[in-house]
Structure 1
Amino acid sequence: MSTNNQARKILLLSANPKGTSQLRLGEEMREIKEGLKRAKKRDDYSIDRAEAVQYRDIHRAILEYEPHIIHFSGHGSGEDGLVFEDETGQIKLVDAEALAGLFQLFAHQVECVVLNACYSEYQARAIAQHINYVMGMSQAIGDKAAIEFAVGFYDAIGADHNYEFAYKLGCSVIRMAGLAQELIPQLIPKNNFSLNFSPKESSGNSSAESINHIY
């Protein structure tokens, strides 16, 4: 997949605000980094991390690191948005429209966005208006399945495969691990989106109910 001598930059963002269920985000990031260290194309990639991100940190991290791939690990709340903290430590939901507007500004740079968060397909489909490859989760996904998907995806990226192959390998690794969640990750290529999408099992849940659940 590499086409020049420029290192492909991966930005790992994570958020696990107070009051939400604790996720194994450190393990997920560690597995991604370790997998790329072993990859045959490891010199073609660099990784930057921004942890415990607040909503303002998203654009700041993109401006600072100029990534080609952005990977978000955290909580999703369906149509209400991805879950961050604000400057006072309170939960802040960032919805699909706001995320789409942000990524439109960086469409010249960002190639792929992975939203490894429950019920994040709605946000993924909005972002896919502007970014070539976007992945989100159609339902709640367990920590182990989320980590397995990330391992398979970045193992493939590190072996110089394209984003579609990496997505398929991530789903396959979930299945190989014996977890019945391989259909939850969804790949939405650019221009193949629908803003009328309503995440499965999310209808009827309030923001508070979603946040206080496993998401």
Structure 2
Amino acid sequence: MNSDYYRGQLVKLQKDLSSLQANLSKEESAAGKARQDAASKRSAAAATKNISTAKSHVRAAESAEKKITTAQKSIAAISKKLADISNNIRQTQASLDAAIKRERAQDDRENDRRARKAKSERDAFARDTLKRRRDEIDHARKLAELSTITIRHILERPPEPEKLRVLYLTSSPRLDDPLRVDAEVNQVLRVLRGVRHRELIDLQHRPAATRQDLVDGINDVRPNVVHFSGHGNASFLLLDDGDFENPTGSALSFEELANILLSTDYPPTLVIINACQSAVGAHALLETVPIVIGTADGVLDITAGLFASTFYGAIGAGQSVGSAVDQARAVISSALPDEPDSVVVMTAGAVNIAEIVLVDG
């Protein structure tokens, strides 16, 4: 039997118990009144000198005493039923406790099974996403190898290899606390102009980015990397609200961001959140993308700029994601020795960032 059955039984038993207790109280009251009547009639019979009146009082006393006997029998029967019901209540309560324990154990097993299934699906998604990126790079390389042919002694130009597409969103709507996000992007672009594989990186910048800019960028750019730089915290990112006179920003929760990234046939491989205390909330994005980089504490403008420019410089040189992060950390530590390392790298499943190369020339 399940717990609902035993709960129903307990309700019924409690109702029966209350009814019997009411009947017991009624019978005890009747017995008490009969005792008073019998005692009163016996006293009256003893006090009168009229024989006829005395006999009448005695008969009334005997009638009251019969009522006492009847009430006592009812009280005894009701008391036995009360004892039986109380025992049934204890047994049913024990059965209910056991049923609840079984059901909780079953729920725990089911939740554990669902968690394992969800983890397996996330791991499979991460593997598929990374495999698709590697396949794109391999396909572009093979096309380049096969397309070098000579026709009438004219060497045709091979097709360009697959580029790394980066959607770089910046937002600083708070007039009381402006960020140097545009300077950060300029620094990244200057670095990319000098890297080895600069022609293989397509960085699309969306300044004063709104929700619509994010959605349009996902559709138009089909980015392999989504990068956000701006205000944020453990719960949300602050996008621009498009207000020219009194901008306050528009909060985008990490759950909303995950849903937007999930609603595309071409999800990114990497998401970078260059915003204060973003690592906690950004963990939710692992349901959608295999690699997420966030920050554990507050971020200075100079720290954000050093991380971004060094990271993309290493990526453009053909380094792995793991090496690019290590280089960025080393540069920040050298330039700002008192600044704590707040970079947090999160991966889905068994993804190894040391093996992930985003630009392979």
Q: TM-score over 0.5 for the alignment? A: yes
Contact 2:233 2:277 in 1 (8 A): yes
Alignment counterpart, residue 32 of structure 1, candidates 174, 182, 188: 188
Show structure 1 runs of 5+ residues with no match: 193-215
1:94-113 alignment to 2 at 5 Å? 94-106=252-264, 108-113=266-271
1:66 corresponds to which letter in structure 2? Answer: R
Relative CO higher for 1 or 2, CA cutoff 8 Å, sep ≥ 6?
A: 1
Contact 1:145 1:179 in 2 (8 A): no
| Cross-structure match for 1:180 | 338
Q: Deviation string for 1:66-109 (max 9, x for gaps)?
A: 11111111001222x00113355442211111111112224743
Task: Indicate the structure with greater strand content.
Answer: 1
Displacement of 1:138 in angstroms is 0.6
CA RMSD of aligned residues (A): 1.9
Alignment counterpart, residue 82 of structure 1, candidates 237, 254, 272: 237
Q: Distance in 1 between matches of 2:311 and 2:265?
A: 21
Displacement of 1:156 in angstroms is 0.8
2:249 corresponds to which letter in structure 1? Answer: I
SS of alignment partner, residue 166 of structure 1: helix
Contact 2:222 2:266 in 1 (8 A): no
Displacement of 1:57 in angstroms is 1.8
Alignment counterpart, residue 118 of structure 1, candidates 227, 252, 276: 276
| Cross-structure match for 1:210 | none
Instruction: Say whether 1:18 aligns with 2:174.
Output: yes
| Cross-structure match for 2:293 | 135
Alignment counterpart, residue 54 of structure 1, candidates 204, 207, 210: 210
| Cross-structure match for 1:144 | 302
Displacement of 1:123 in angstroms is 3.0
Contact 1:107 1:131 in 2 (8 A): no
Q: Distance in 1 between matches of 2:261 and 2:338?
A: 32
Q: Distance in 2 between matches of 1:51 and 1:22?
A: 13
2:165 corresponds to which letter in structure 1? Answer: K
Displacement of 1:56 in angstroms is 2.4
Displacement of 1:152 in angstroms is 1.4
Q: Distance in 2 between matches of 1:155 and 1:87?
A: 32
Q: Distance in 1 between matches of 2:226 and 2:301?
A: 19
Taking structure 1 as the reference length, the TM-score comes to 0.82
Q: Deviation string for 1:139-164 (max 9, x for gaps)?
A: 10111111111121111101111212
Q: Deviation string for 1:27-84 (max 9, x for gaps)?
A: 11011111111011111111111100112221111111111111111001222x0011
Alignment counterpart, residue 41 of structure 1, candidates 185, 197, 207: 197
Q: Distance in 2 between matches of 1:57 and 1:156?
A: 27
1:13 corresponds to which letter in structure 2? Answer: L
> Which one has a bigger Cα radius of gyration?
2
Identity %: 24
Q: Distance in 2 between matches of 1:86 and 1:145?
A: 26
Q: Distance in 2 between matches of 1:140 and 1:128?
A: 22
Contact 1:129 1:191 in 2 (8 A): no
Taking structure 2 as the reference length, the TM-score comes to 0.50
1:125 corresponds to which letter in structure 2? Answer: H
Contact 1:119 1:138 in 2 (8 A): yes
Q: Distance in 2 between matches of 1:29 and 1:107?
A: 27
SS of alignment partner, residue 52 of structure 1: coil
Task: Indicate the structure with greater helix content.
Answer: 2
Q: Distance in 2 between matches of 1:86 and 1:17?
A: 8
Displacement of 1:18 in angstroms is 3.3
